[in-house]
Amino acid sequence: MKAAVLTSMGDADALVLQEVADPKPGAGEAVVRVRAAALNHRDVFIRQGLYPGVKLPVILGSDAAGVVAEVGEGVDTAWVGKEVVVDPCFDWGDNPRAQSNKFHILGLPEDGTYAEFVKVPAENLAPKPGHLSFEEAAALPLAGLTAYRAVVTRAQVAAGEKVLVTGIGGGVSSFALQIALAAGAEVYVTSGSDEKIERAKALGAAGGANYREGDWGKAIVAMTGGGPDVVIDSVGGETFARAIEILKTGGRLATYGATAGAVNKFEVRRIFWKQLTVLGSTMGLRSEFAEMLKLYESRELRPVVDKVFGLGEAAEAHRRMEQGGQFGKIVLKVD
Ligand SMILES: NC(=O)c1ccc[n+]([C@@H]2O[C@H](COP(=O)([O-])OP(=O)(O)OC[C@H]3O[C@@H](n4cnc5c(N)ncnc54)[C@H](OP(=O)(O)O)[C@@H]3O)[C@@H](O)[C@H]2O)c1
């Protein structure tokens, strides 16, 4: 099969289209013919050497939509020929509050989805929502699941609440916007681009502030009439610190990422004095994956697809993510 293989650490050109052996399903496994895969920032961080223990070569990619080609021993053969998406979480464990230390994600160390075929445990298969194209469905798994757990399970966003989603151009952020809107919240966003704020408004956001222009925190406080009830943050760094400052008394902040790194100076007293709740969130349970798919199917929601590249253009797709040009998910179409 053809795959975009990560051959060395470094810049995006380290992703090379190569001929590699087809995967064979073992007991309990299925092989999916990938019709579309999607990028996550994780893939860029891995390529840049920011993840420990990477063994090369490896096929990156945690998201896939496709058709089941073959199943191994003990797997219902009725799956063969079915259109599916793949839950990228392995070995969460028994505790719904947090993953076990065996937890890992499709696309490292196991070969991932930037390929014509991917092998996964059959228990990770789920039917593809019927109203979505393969490209749209491939955008769903990792980002949709992460946003669902952060917004619904952890922050418990309720109808009428004012929610701020930071860095709306991000893949997960676009899902957080849609899921918070589906919960009946009034959603505000930040972005480094006015155009992306306008696109978020077209999706239903009530307003937004550009973090490259002036004091975005002040602007959000003014728009929300005193600050948001909830912040969903993936930026970290100074954005996290500012979000804590502008949250309403009694507010919640769900954090699932730190694209901008650590916080240099942080006023802990703001958390206790304002009685804030800070909620860490990572990926999600199989049951949350099913609930997320059900939400997208029942409301006929469509993931925001930024741009579709060919499998041979994985390097170009990575560069787009690295430069932050995207609004929504960057997808690789696999023919
Ligand atoms: N814990 C988990 O389970 C989990 C799961 C998925 C992702 N993550 C993490 O979440 C983060 C986002 O992932 P992703 O795949 O959605 O990434 P992405 O698509 O690359 O999105 C990153 C976005 O962050 C925004 N951003 C960057 N610097 C910013 C700053 N200084 N201030 C405000 N916004 C800024 C940009 O938004 P604008 O373009 O609008 O400016 C950018 O588009 C990554 O750190 C990733 O590792 C964690």
* Angstrom distance (rounded) from CA 254 to CA 230: 8
Token digits for 93?
Answer: 């464990």
What is the pLDDT, as a whole number, of residue 5? 98
pLDDT at 123 over 90: yes
In Å, what is the CA distance from 56 to each residue of 14, 15, 45, 51, 88? 11, 11, 15, 12, 20
CA of 170 to the centre of ligand 1 (A): 5
Question: Is the preceding omega at residue 109 within 30 degrees of 0, hence cis?
Answer: yes
Span from the CA of 76 to the centroid of ligand 1 (angstroms) = 38
Indicate the fold that domain 2-140+303-333 takes in CATH: Quinone Oxidoreductase; Chain A, domain 1 (3.90.180)
Q: Is the pLDDT of residue 111 over 90?
A: yes
| Ligand 1 centre distance from Cα of residue 41 (Å) | 7
Return the best residue to mutate from 44, 89, 172, 263 for the ligand 1 pocket (most ligand atoms within 8 A of CB).
172
* Ranges assigned E (strand) in 175-257: 186-191, 207-210, 230-233, 252-255
Which CATH number applies to 145-280? Answer: 3.40.50.720
Averaged pLDDT of the chain: 97
* 308 band by pLDDT with thresholds 50, 70 and 90: very high
For CATH 3.40.50.720, the residue range(s) in the chain are 145-280
pTM: 0.98
pLDDT, tens digit, 9 for 90 and up, residues 28-46: 999 999 999 999 999 999 9
**pLDDT-derived band at 83, boundaries 50, 70, 90:** very high
Query: Tens of pLDDT along 185-208?
Result: 999 999 999 999 999 999 999 999
Which numbered atom of ligand 1 lies nearest the CA of 282? 3
Q: Where in the chain is the domain with CATH 3.90.180.10?
A: 2-140+303-333
pLDDT of res. 262 = 95
Ligand 1 centroid to residue 180 C-alpha, Å: 17
3 state DSSP class of 322: helix
User: Which residue's CA lies nearest to atom 8 of ligand 1?
Assistant: 257
CA-proximal residue: ligand 1, atom 1 (nearest): 282
Average pLDDT over residues 215-240: 98
Instruction: Find the 118 Cα to ligand 1 centroid distance in Å.
Output: 26
What are the backbone angles phi and psi of residue 104, rounded to the nearest 5°? -155, 175
Residues with CB under 6 Å of ligand 1 are 40-42, 142-143, 146, 166-173, 190-193, 196, 211, 234-235, 239, 256-260, 282-283, 321, 324, 326
